[in-house]
């Protein structure tokens, strides 16, 4: 899976491209961990390129959110597709994330 990384001031935007499934979780997790160490946990996950995710993808996002140094520094999820939003809602995990309609609004939330 391709994972794009962009810097927006002190915030890092990590953008997986493709379905977030068990086959691709390790590459996304490696990118998230690397960027978390660099950016002091100011991370936005741009989900616009993720058409769907399975239980392994949900577990990855939950592990990543749990690793935040404080509740206010939880990663932000931006641009969720309807399918991803529904999967997170059905598993009652959507409430564990800060979520935003756009990457820009998610980046601004750290300011």
Q: What percent of the chain has pLDDT over 90?
A: 71
Q: Residue 42 sits in a domain of what CATH number?
A: 3.30.750.24
Q: pLDDT tens digits, residue range 30-43?
A: 999 888 887 667 89
Number of domains into which the chain is organized: 1
The residue written with tokens 């995710």 in the block is 53
User: How many C-beta atoms lie closer than 10 Å to residue 92's C-beta?
Assistant: 8
pLDDT at site 39: 63
- What is the four-CA torsion angle of 36, 31, 91, 78, rounded to 10 degrees? 70
Packed helices 82-90 and 55-66: angle between N→C axes, nearest 10 degrees: 70
Q: What is the mean pLDDT of the chain?
A: 92
Q: Work out the burial of residue 76: count CB atoms within 10 Å of its CB; fewer than 13 is exposed, 13-18 middle, 19 or more buried.
A: buried
Residue 60 has pLDDT above 90, yes or no: yes
Domain carrying residue 21? 2-108
For the segment 56-64, the average pLDDT, to the nearest whole number, is 95
């Amino acid at each position: 899976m391709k994972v794009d990384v962009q810097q927006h001031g002190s915030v890092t935007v990590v953008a997986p491209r493709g379905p977030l499934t068990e086959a691709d979780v390790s590459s996304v997790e490696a990118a998230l961990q690397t960027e978390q160490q660099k950016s002091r946990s100011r991370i936005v996950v741009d989900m616009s390129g993720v058409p769907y995710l399975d239980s392994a993808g949900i577990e990855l996002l939950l592990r990543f959110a749990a690793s935040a140094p404080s509740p206010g520094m939880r990663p932000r999820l931006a641009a969720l597709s309807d399918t991803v939003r529904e999967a997170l809602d059905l598993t009652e995990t959507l409430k564990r994330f800060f979520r935003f309609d756009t990457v820009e609004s998610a980046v601004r939330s750290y300011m």
